[in-house]
Amino acid sequence: MFNEIDCNMNSNLQFSKVQFPNEKRVATGYAPIALEIRRDIVKMLTLAKSGHTGGPMGLADFMAVLYFGKFMKYSANEPQMPDRDRFVLSGGHLVPVLYSCLARAGFFEPDELSTLRKFGSRLQGHPGLDTELPGLETSSGSLGQGISIAVGMAMADKLVDHNDRKVFCLTGDGELEEGAVWEAAMAAANFKLDNLCWIVDNNDCQIDGRVRDVMSIYPLAEKFEAFGCNVIEIDGHNFEQIVNALDKFEQNNKNKSGKPTVIILKTFMGQGVSFMQDKYSWHGIPPTEEQAEMALQELK
Amino acid sequence: MKNINLQGKKTTRHGFGEALVELGEKHDNVVVFGGDITGSVMTSFFQKKFPERFFSIGIAEQNATTIATGMALSGKIAFFSSYSAFAAFRNADQLRVSVCYNNANVKIGGGHSGITVGPDGATHQSLEEVSFLRALPNMTVVVPCDYNEAKKATIAIGEMYGPAYIRFGRSSVPLFTTDETPFTLGKAEVFREGADVAIVACGLMVWPALLAAEELKKNLGIEARVINNHTIKPIDGETLTKAAVECGCIVTAEEHQVYGGLGSAVAEVVVKNAPVPMEFVGMKDRFGTSGEPEELLEKFDLNWQAIYASTLKVIERKNNGNCEYRPLTDIPKYEK
Ligand SMILES: [Mg+2]
């Protein structure tokens, strides 16, 4: 379908063909994968001429570990594999980082990334299940809902089907201002969903400014602990810490702790590009072609 | 129509609650979510029979709706039921984005609907939800007329794929259909033949529509066609277009605001395919108040007398030609 879309692109903005299918996972280390993801995000957003750049850039390191490490079971050849683990993106605006991971994992060709937000594309501005994009588990875009969907999936696995599938769900931090997420937290603990791993992207940025200034959600770890969650707070740009945190979730799940895991990722919006780093102004805008060139110079 | 006789009174919520148990027996992937008022909406029957497939979410309709979506995306037929004042409003965004945009197999049971929830007053008298729900892509909306039909409708929405809403009430209402009365989702049923006027009703207004038709016949010799339009979406355009063409005027009757409910859905079909004069019986853009169901139905003109009066009005408009109607020799094909 995407071939019909006119992508009159500047050669800097072409996508590499590299993919990291299952058998190659981890072998390269995470850094080159995270770099490729960040380059994808810059190119996708520049071509799209609208969208969210900063958040996805800050998540590249975590997502590189989640999608290309040993933690999530999936098959790009069989996206609906019945015993796959599931990733639910609750903050739909962060989707460029997911599209990049899916392309690099082999769910579709990286060239298709150039169609983000364009008419006829499977890569909707906020993800839509009606596109039947392989690897996508849910539609999202209205904040605060995906985490409850993830709770429902984890309940289906643990309480109805009694299997050992895992559910990973990513929310932003501004998203935690939506009251419904705390209903989800209550339910996750109530149903003892130790098969649920909730990742909070704590970059302390949202469109209007610092989260602490717009509407403080802090103290965060204490809140989740009070709800009854297993909370792990880490540097979201440190691969070792990310791996350890996901290991702890695995243990927590295997030991049937009865507690959902919450990983609070301390990240910087726009991580990897100096003029974007930690700037909330990069939440909801794309780079210009000149800015993209500068960014891609840094991302080498 | 055969088999339309008053057999006493019973609540539609009983039909819903019993049907859930039947569905649970037949399909092991039916799961039900409770929102604290499980006895009122009778999901407690299912809970008792299948405790391992029943989940109490507490007073959190947004969460229940979205958790149900997650279950549905895991291959379950997920029912959530609460009062429709909360199960179809508090969670509006969740219904739109999580349930409908995902086209998830989630079923919403809206209980204690309409003015007849009675003494609880206006906050609990849900009179607008059909208007919102039928605007959502992928959503099916059904408003059964009595206990038997509520049972059939619940099973029907459980066995179709996709988001659906069923509306039922708190108080006992006339029971007049039987196991043999035909019921097909999306198919309006002609409960009484006639060609002078068509009365299109849903929910607890179907019985008064039949009463009004009998009075019209007895007093004035008018033959009214009574159509039970239980499925508001997808609407049965063919039956309604045929009624417009053959009867030349229509009265709709619903226990819901006239803006956006059954009347609007019928008018959308009629205006496009065979424009005829219409009158609308329903709540006239206002909130309800505390009182017994019978008192409220009378106060807000939701009874056979109101239908009767509207019928005379619409026939007069048809005959005086202030909305010119010319009978067609050929029935035009219904177009969506
Ligand atoms: Mg943020």
B196 and B149 within one domain: no
If one counts the domains in chain B, the total is: 2
> Distance from CA of residue A204 to its chain's centroid?
16
- Residue B215: give its domain's CATH number: 3.40.50.920
* Angle, CA A165 vertex, CA A56 and CA A154 arms, to 5°: 75
Does A151 lie at the interface with B, CB-CB under 8 angstroms?
Answer: yes
**A166-176: pLDDT as tens digits:** 999 999 999 99
pLDDT class for A1, splitting at 50, 70, 90?
A: very low
Rounded average pLDDT over A76-86: 97
* Angle, CA A109 vertex, CA A107 and CA A110 arms, to 5°: 110
Gap between the Cα atoms of A112 and B242, Å rounded = 49
Contacts of B75 in chain A (CB under 8 A): 156
Cβ contact, residue pair B73, A152, below 8 Å: yes
Determine phi and psi for A230, rounding to 5 degrees. -90, 105
For residue B111, the surrounding DSSP H or E stretch is: strand B106-111
Contact between B25 and B158 under an 8 Å Cβ cutoff? The reply is no
Which is it for strands B140-142 and B231-233: parallel, antiparallel or unpaired? Answer: antiparallel
B154 and B66 within one domain: yes
Give the model's pLDDT for residue B4.
Answer: 82
Determine what percent of chain B falls in helix, strand and coil, rounding each to the nearest 5. Answer: 45, 20, 35
Cβ contact, residue pair A129, B103, below 8 Å: yes
Q: For residue A206, how far is its CA from the centre of ligand 1 (angstroms)?
A: 5
**A84-143: pLDDT as tens digits:** 999 999 999 999 999 999 999 999 999 999 999 999 999 999 999 999 999 999 999 999
B56 bridge partner residues: B34
Does A230 lie at the interface with B, CB-CB under 8 angstroms?
Answer: no
Give the nearest partner residue to B102 out of A139, A156, A184, using CB atoms.
A139
B311 and B237 within one domain: yes
Task: Please report whether residue B333 resides in a domain.
Answer: no
DSSP-H helix ranges across B223-288: 237-247, 262-273
pLDDT class for A10, splitting at 50, 70, 90?
A: confident
CA distance A251 to chain B (A): 24
B239 and B160 within one domain: no
Give the model's pLDDT for residue A21.
Answer: 77
Task: Please report whether residue B278 resides in a domain.
Answer: yes
Model confidence at A190: pLDDT above 80: yes
Give the model's pLDDT for residue B2.
Answer: 54
Six token digits for residue A124: 């909707």
Interface of A with B in 41-100 (CB under 8 A): 88
Task: Please report whether residue B179 resides in a domain.
Answer: no
B164 and B59 within one domain: yes
**B68-116: pLDDT as tens digits:** 999 999 999 999 999 999 999 999 999 999 999 999 999 999 999 999 9
User: Exposed, middle or buried by CB within 10 Å (0-12, 13-18, 19+), for A11?
Assistant: exposed
* Angle, CA A110 vertex, CA A107 and CA A112 arms, to 5°: 90
* Domain A27-298 is found in CATH 3.40.50.970: yes
Does B3 lie at the interface with A, CB-CB under 8 angstroms?
Answer: no
Cβ atoms < 10 Å from Cβ of B317: 18
In the 8-state DSSP scheme, what is residue A140?
Answer: -
Gap between the Cα atoms of A238 and B65, Å rounded = 37
Sequence length of chain B is 336
Looking at B123, B140, B174, the residue that finishes a domain is: B174
* Angle, CA B37 vertex, CA B36 and CA B40 arms, to 5°: 165
Sign of the CA dihedral running B83, B85, B86, B88: positive
Model confidence at A11: pLDDT above 90: no
Gap between the Cα atoms of B320 and B135, Å rounded = 35
Give the model's pLDDT for residue B43.
Answer: 96
Contact between A114 and A7 under an 8 Å Cβ cutoff? The reply is yes
What ipTM score was computed for the predicted complex, to two decimals? 0.94
Sign of the CA dihedral running B6, B7, B10, B16: negative
Cβ contact, residue pair B94, A160, below 8 Å: no
B63 and B151 within one domain: yes
Gap between the Cα atoms of B261 and B285, Å rounded = 12
Give the nearest partner residue to A142 out of B53, B71, B93, using CB atoms.
B93
Model confidence at A2: pLDDT above 90: no
Cβ contact, residue pair B98, A139, below 8 Å: yes
Task: Please report whether residue B1 resides in a domain.
Answer: no
Which residue range(s) make up the domain with B217?
A: 189-318
Model confidence at A3: pLDDT above 70: no
Q: HSE (CB half, 13 Å, CA atoms) of B144?
A: 38
If you compute the radius of gyration of chain A from its CA atoms, what whole number of angstroms results? 18
Give the model's pLDDT for residue B1.
Answer: 57
B158 and B28 within one domain: yes
In the 8-state DSSP scheme, what is residue B100?
Answer: I
Give the model's pLDDT for residue B321.
Answer: 67
**A199-255: pLDDT as tens digits:** 999 999 999 999 999 999 999 999 999 999 999 999 999 999 999 999 999 999 999
- Residue B335 is which amino acid? E
Does B8 lie at the interface with A, CB-CB under 8 angstroms?
Answer: no
Query: What is each CA distance from A13 to A32, A44, A125, A159, in whole angstroms?
Result: 18, 8, 19, 47
Contact between B24 and B30 under an 8 Å Cβ cutoff? The reply is yes
Give the model's pLDDT for residue A9.
Answer: 62
Contact between B79 and B68 under an 8 Å Cβ cutoff? The reply is yes
B25 and B158 within one domain: yes
Contacts of A141 in chain B (CB under 8 A): 97
Q: Which of A160, A165, A196, A227 to mutate to test the interface with B (most CBs of B within 10 A)?
A: A160
Task: Please report whether residue B328 resides in a domain.
Answer: no
Looking at B108, B140, B174, the residue that finishes a domain is: B174
- Residues of chain B below pLDDT 50: 323-328
B86 and B159 within one domain: yes
Contact between A262 and A198 under an 8 Å Cβ cutoff? The reply is yes
Looking at B142, B174, B206, the residue that finishes a domain is: B174
Cβ contact, residue pair A145, B98, below 8 Å: yes
Does B52 lie at the interface with A, CB-CB under 8 angstroms?
Answer: yes
pLDDT class for A274, splitting at 50, 70, 90?
A: very high
Cβ contact, residue pair B103, A130, below 8 Å: yes
Cβ contact, residue pair B71, A141, below 8 Å: no
Task: Please report whether residue B331 resides in a domain.
Answer: no
Give the model's pLDDT for residue A26.
Answer: 60
Give the model's pLDDT for residue B74.
Answer: 98
Gap between the Cα atoms of B71 and B154, Å rounded = 19
Task: Please report whether residue B335 resides in a domain.
Answer: no
Unique residue bearing structure tokens 């109607």: B325
Rounded average pLDDT over A142-153: 98
B195 and B170 within one domain: no
B222 and B113 within one domain: no
Give the model's pLDDT for residue A287.
Answer: 98
B197 and B169 within one domain: no
Contacts of A191 in chain B (CB under 8 A): 55
Gap between the Cα atoms of A259 and A265, Å rounded = 19
Q: What is the pTM of this model?
A: 0.95
DSSP string, B135-154: TSTT-EEE--SSHHHHHHHH
Helix (H, G, I), strand (E, B) or coil at A166: coil
Contact between B31 and B72 under an 8 Å Cβ cutoff? The reply is no
Contacts of B103 in chain A (CB under 8 A): 129-130
Give the model's pLDDT for residue B3.
Answer: 63
For residue B184, the surrounding DSSP H or E stretch is: none
Task: Please report whether residue B86 resides in a domain.
Answer: yes
Contacts of B77 in chain A (CB under 8 A): none
A196 bridge partner residues: A167
- Residue B98: give its domain's CATH number: 3.40.50.970
Model confidence at A281: pLDDT above 50: yes
Does B63 lie at the interface with A, CB-CB under 8 angstroms?
Answer: yes
